[in-house]
Amino acid sequence: MPIKGLIFDAYGTLYDVHSVHAKTEELCPGKGDLITQIWRLKQLEYTWLQTSLQEYRDFTYLTQVSLEFALRAAGVEPSENITKPLFEKYLDLDPYPEAKEALGALKKRGGSQLAILSNGSTAMLSALVKNSGLDALLNATISVDGARKFKPHPDCYALIEKTLGLKNDEVMFVSSNGFDVAGAKHFGFKVAWIRRGGSTPLPPGPVGPAQIYRLLRGNPETLGYLQDYTVAALTDLVGLL
């Protein structure tokens, strides 16, 4: 069955979640790296916790409370002067350098719908794709708000057929996140994993927060739900098709 839809995760796949680092360091000197990494790890943990509790509070809320956790964990008392600009940066994350080129080439090639399926709330994703200009290259931006659960719950991936009318064997799902790769593969999609830096050798000396995050999120999971393809960058997807 030919691939009729390339569906992308947003955070960490099309957009660099760590592009908040410069603003975090500016507002919390000497603690930007630590806060940035704790923020993202706690944000993910809260999505899984909320789904396990069978209680839905959207990604906007979880992004805000995970930021407050990260600040306090690093010894910084949250205040609007810090939390407001950091949250606003999450609405204007930097796309990875090859994102526009890759989506543009895939759109020009034709034959497949291009869409996002993300844990992001509808409001956050709308702002993000508009601010980055990627909205012009996408057929749809799908939020898990429609399932009231977070990935990797199967109900989230089912939104693709509900929104785009695509069957499982017509979809290639693209993510850099191991939990998302496992969820999409378990659901029945073809999956391409963007390996972002996990194989880069560690520098000598102490391991910092960014390296720990890269080791956790930049290596394949070992539960057996393996990706069909591994690529180094989004531009490699054109060759797969």
Number of domains making up the chain? 2
Q: What is the pLDDT of residue 97?
A: 93
Q: What 3-state class would DSSP assign to 127?
A: helix
Helix axes 122-132, 59-73, angle to 10 degrees: 80
Q: Which two tokens stand for residue 50?
A: 């909320």
Kindly state the average pLDDT of the residues 91-95: 97
Averaged pLDDT score across all residues of the chain: 93
Q: What 3-state class would DSSP assign to 174?
A: strand
Q: Are residues 82 and 116 in the same domain?
A: no
CATH of the domain at 55: 1.10.150.240
Q: Are residues 39 and 76 in the same domain?
A: yes
Is 9 annotated as catalytic?
yes
Residue given tokens 């947003």 in the structure block: 10
51-60, 95-104, 113-122, 198-207: range with lowest mean pLDDT: 198-207
Evaluate if residue 58 carries a pLDDT over 70: yes
Q: What is the DSSP letter of 112?
A: S
Q: Are residues 98 and 76 in the same domain?
A: no
Looking at 90, 114, 137, the residue that finishes a domain is 90
Residue given tokens 């979880």 in the structure block: 62
Q: Pick 209 or 102 by higher pLDDT.
A: 102
Sign of CA dihedral 105, 88, 124, 72: positive
The two most distant CA atoms of the chain are separated, in Å, by: 54
Q: What is the pLDDT of residue 90?
A: 95
Confidence at 110, pLDDT banded by 50, 70, 90: confident
Confidence at 81, pLDDT banded by 50, 70, 90: very high
Q: Pick 38 or 205 by higher pLDDT.
A: 38
Are 59 and 119 in contact, with CB atoms under 8 Å apart? yes
**Which one of 9, 33, 58, 180 is the catalytic residue?**
9
Q: Are residues 75 and 102 in the same domain?
A: no
Evaluate if residue 173 carries a pLDDT over 90: yes
Looking at 90, 105, 139, the residue that finishes a domain is 90
Long-range contacts of 147-153, Cβ-Cβ distance < 8 Å, separation of 24 or more: 148/56, 149/51, 149/56, 150/47, 150/48, 150/50, 150/51, 150/59, 150/119, 151/9, 151/47, 151/117, 151/119, 151/179, 151/180, 151/183, 152/179, 152/180, 152/182, 152/183, 152/184, 152/186, 153/51, 153/183
Which domain, by its residues, includes 105? 5-16+93-240
Looking at 35, 68, 90, the residue that finishes a domain is 90
Beta bridge partners of 190: 172
pTM of structure: 0.92
Kindly state the average pLDDT of the residues 103-128: 95
Evaluate if residue 197 carries a pLDDT over 70: no
Q: Are residues 162 and 232 in the same domain?
A: yes
Q: Are residues 172 and 100 in the same domain?
A: yes
Q: What is the pLDDT of residue 23?
A: 97
Q: What is the pLDDT of residue 207?
A: 66
Evaluate if residue 109 carries a pLDDT over 90: no
Confidence at 2, pLDDT banded by 50, 70, 90: confident
Long-range contacts of 77-84, Cβ-Cβ distance < 8 Å, separation of 24 or more: 81/27, 82/27, 82/28
Q: What is the pLDDT of residue 224?
A: 86
CATH of the domain at 145: 3.40.50.1000
The H or E element spanning position 118 is strand 113-118
Q: What is the pLDDT of residue 210?
A: 72
